[in-house]
Each structure stands twice: as C-alpha cells, then as structure tokens.
Amino acid sequence: MLKSPYDTDCITWSPQGRLFQIEYAMEAIKQGSLCVGLKSNDYAILATLNRAPSKLAEYQQKLYEIDEHIGLCFSGLTADGRLICKYLRTEALNYKYTHGTNINPQRLVGKLSDKAQIKTQRHSKRPYGVGCLVIGLDENGPHVYETSPDANFYEYYAVAIGARCQSAKTYLEKNYETFSNLSKDELIIHAVKAVKSSAQSDVELNGRSVSVAIVGRDTPFKFLTSDEIEATLSQLSQAMEVEV
C-alpha cells in the first residue's frame, strides 16, 4: 500500500478533501462480520454471522446486551467493539442510577456518536474501527440505529453492515414494507434469511455461527438459544427444498 503524507492522523485533510484515517476505519467495517438489524411495530431484532479465527478457535461474540431494553452488535475491530459496549453499559447504568428510569435509546446512541466525534478531532487519537447496530425500546416502540466511525448515526427500518452485506441489504429492501405487522417468529425468520443470503457457500450456519437477539413491547432484551436458531435454520432449509 502506498504511503500517503495525509494519513498519519485523523485531522489532516488531503487536497481532495478526504480524511484517510476515517476511510480506513470505514473499510474495517466492510471487512468485519455481517450484522443485520430490522424492526416491526412491536419488535426489533439483531442477527449476526459469527466468525472463528481458525478451525481450532471458538466463534467470536459480536452481539451484546447493553440493558434490559437495548442491545448492540458490531462489525469491525473486536477490541473497539468491546470497548464501546463497556462504555454504553456504564452510561445506561449511570442514567438509571441517577434518574431511576431506563435511558432513551436515541440519547444513548447520541452519546456514543459524541464520543466517536472526539476521536476525529485530536491528532493523538484514531477513529473507532467499528460500526454498530443498536436496537432499543422506548415509549414510541422499537428502534434500529446504525453508528459509524465518522460520528454519524441513523435510524432504519432495516439495515445490514459488514462483509458481503449487499445481498442482505437487497433482501431487506425487497421485504421491509411487510415487516410492520409481523409476529416475533416471522420477524426472526426474515432476520435469519437476510443473514443466510449473505453467507458464503462454504460457511456452515448453525446455532453457534449465527446469533440472534430480540427486544419488544412485551419482551425484554434476550438472546435466542442455539436450539431456537437451529430450528429456524432447519425451517428455512425445508422451505427452500419445497420451492425447488
């Protein structure tokens, strides 16, 4: 890779108006694990495709609980993702201790973006090399947010980030208009389908390589068990065989 005099820190602009350090961080997300988030009127779901560094290693966890009403998954540098997770848990706990109620998910995502912004304003820092999908529940219902190293955040009906995410995005774009009134089980099937559509053919999908979590109006944040994920994958395989 060619050396550039404009990529030694994240506050030096190139003549073309680019910040290379932030672009490198965004590239790390594109190389990371696939993450999918989607919501209906009553539920929000996160699904991830976990990776193992080698055949002898366990799958790396990419999906975490922040609070009883908020969850997060990330794509990119695992160490940065764990640091962000710890920060969000601390902020959620401090807010609950101070105000006696759960923090609003958008407020928490805003705090994370403010923290990420600081990393782009000091030459001694670097941007977080991780993108996050955050699901949360407030009085208005479930929400899905995406955060990025450039300190922007967005709310979505459905979104996918990570390696080979375009296939999952295409699936979600075709079907997101039907998500509004779906039941919990139907929404889970769509999430797993989106993950399956982007998985490489040589990747084995099972209860360990795929993680799914849900939060809803009548459901505190929880992870699906391996057996539940295996049952969903088996159901999808049977449906595909019938179609063929």
pLDDT at position 244, please? 44
CA atoms within 13 A on the CB side of 241: 6
Q: Is residue 40 a part of any domain in this protein?
A: yes
Please check whether residue 115 lies inside any domain of the structure.
yes
Q: Is 114 inside a domain boundary?
A: yes
Is 47 contained in some domain?
A: yes
Tokens encoding 167: 């296939």
pLDDT in tens, 135-179: 999 999 999 999 999 999 999 999 999 999 999 999 999 999 999
What is the average per-residue pLDDT within 38-63? 90
Q: Taking residues 26-32, what's their average pLDDT?
A: 93
Within-domain flag for 23: no
Number of domains into which the chain is organized: 1
Q: Is the pLDDT of residue 122 over 90?
A: no
Q: Is residue 211 part of a domain?
A: yes
What is the domain-level CATH number for residue 205? Answer: 3.60.20.10
- Residue closest to 65 by CA, chosen among 38, 46, 41: 46
Establish if 218 belongs to a structural domain: yes
pLDDT at 103 over 60: yes
Asked if residue 18 belongs to a domain, the reply is: no
Report the candidate in 132, 73, 65, 66 with the shortest Cα–Cα distance to residue 103: 66
Pairing of strands 153-156, 63-67: unpaired
Split at pLDDT 50, 70, 90, the class of 6 is: confident
User: Quick one: average pLDDT of 228-237?
Assistant: 89
**Residue range of the domain that includes 216:** 32-237
